[in-house]
Structure 1
Amino acid sequence: MTEKKPGHIGCIEAGILENALVIVAVLDPKGTVLAWNHAAETITGYSKKDVIGTTSIWRHLYPDKAYRESVNSRLAEILAKKNYFENFETMIRTHSGAHRVILWNTKEVELDGMKHVIAIGQDFTHIRELDSFRESVIDSANVLITVLDDKGKVVTWNKAAEEITGYSPSEAIGGYGIWKLLYPDEDYRETVTRQIKEVISAQQHFSNLETRVTTKTSGKKVISWNTRQINIGGVKHVISIGVDITEQRIAEEALVAYMTEMAMRIKQPVEIIRDNLHEVAELLRAGKITTEETAMLLDGQVRNARQVAANVQEFQQAILEKNRAIPEAYRKFLEGD
């Protein structure tokens, strides 16, 4: 196939096309490709001789008819309003069968008195793969992760955030309303906001800030928040990570209750044993009891002590069975390990 190169096109190729790192194609009014640069060959796998002078390249790049028609439909909608399009993202299939994400921009120019279109395609595959990887990591995390833009709007709301709060990304992303839902009590919300502002004004971030949120089902959960500033596209954002420590706090409260209850349970019997032993000591000093009588009295206090220990063990077991979230270290202590 003979390569058509009008004078203007030859100049464009020499000065710009061949040195560009993006796909650059020039199309005549009928959509015939008049120029196809080196980057276009490298990215798509289709050479100049395969492309120039034809319109068939688009069927090769978009072999799936349904997808090709959807692309054409979207393009028609855009071009009905303006004679160019910007950052139009599509998925092409290369000559080798691989798929690449291309971000297209076009500009209409006049060459030899006729309108032509310059199409520039940037290979965004690597960026989209990184985006996909980041999204996968964020969604795989078992902690609540949300990203706020420089205006405080939610732009990311991961799977764990949905599982913990009950609110879906569609309910959280794009505004500020999620915080009113999580903190429905106005006074408490203002208290939390004031705490956050005080901390951020001092150090630009906060660590282990505990708040109590209300879930979509009206449940209560304790979240420990940590934030950091990040830069996305030259704009400052805040990434907030929230760890659900509800079970931990419940377990800690159970342990406090255990300690309080246990202290009350053993106080009286221990005081009785103390008083009995004191009485035995006084009788011994006065020589009022024999060795056998002393042994009998001490045996009685041993039985009392054993009963106290049994009561403590029984109570410990009840606490363990009731509170499965008790940390392992405390659990071993309560089990007597």
Structure 2
Amino acid sequence: MTSHMPVTRRDLLKLGAAGAATAALAARPATATEGRFDLTGSSSPLIWKKDLYDQTVLQSFACDNVHGHIYTLQLRNGTGQNAAGNLCLTKLGLTGTVLGHMYLMGFGHGVQLGVEPSGSSAYLWTETDGVTENGSARGSQLARFRFADGQTLDTASPALTKYKPIATADNTTCAIDPSRNRLIMRYRSEGAFRFAVYSLPALKAGTVSALFDIAQPSGLGVFQGYAAYGDFLYLLTGEAYSDANPAPGNTYITCLDLRTGGQVQRELTEAGKSLDYREPEGMAIQIAAGRPRLCLGLASGVEKARKASIFYKSAMI
């Protein structure tokens, strides 16, 4: 039998203080921890089947852990947007409510996204200067720009600051590790994909010396996104449900050690397995109440009415 005690004014004050402390922790930047995420741990929903600003498939997302926002990338509505590299950037609240958007013309495919909180807003890091290849545009360098609701940017916009730390790189995207303030760049050079890690402040100051540079392992499947926390990199691969790929699908998360390039763990994830279509799309690190979460995105719904869901793992090893 459960006993129900009356709630006193002192109890309410305690609850209020606890809530304030939790809010303060949520707004505090993460600090790097030893260890890594346990990929066998359970997955929990953060947002479930939410509309983005446009109705196309979610491509990637990133979390603003200071202001409590999520930013997503998708192809812009309409035919020919893939080849043109035209993207829609949506700003969401943590419950999935649309708070604003931008259009990015000619940027690329939106495979990954980084967010850098700044003051009362945030700067976004994306691919830019998309080059068409096999019917799809892929960015050839990186761009940093401040979020401005309703604005449309093209690749010549003065609002962009561009970076190309590896001159020979093409097909370039990036993510940001909030625990160590590092930028992780996935790039292709001489036909092979690699990951280079930079101090974010040093990169912005013009230093292009990588802290780590490791190869992307072969044979992982269709690449769909990545995120880094501390010394470990997490890769998302897989395809949408189909007759050849029925539920629970072929979505895997692979963990690499950034210091050695070695594979540490690889696990099938059944997060959101009841979704229709269910295509894995994007990864990010969220900080909730001072603790890290490894998030992965899933697209669902029918064509021209796609939905976005995000799940997370929080267990650490």
TM-score range, shorter chain: under 0.3
Say which structure is richer in strand. Answer: 2
Q: Which structure is richer in relative contact order (CA contacts within 8 A, separation 6 or more)?
A: 2
Greater C-alpha Rg? 1
Q: Higher helix fraction: Structure 1 or Structure 2?
A: 1
**Length-normalised TM-score, structure 2:** 0.19
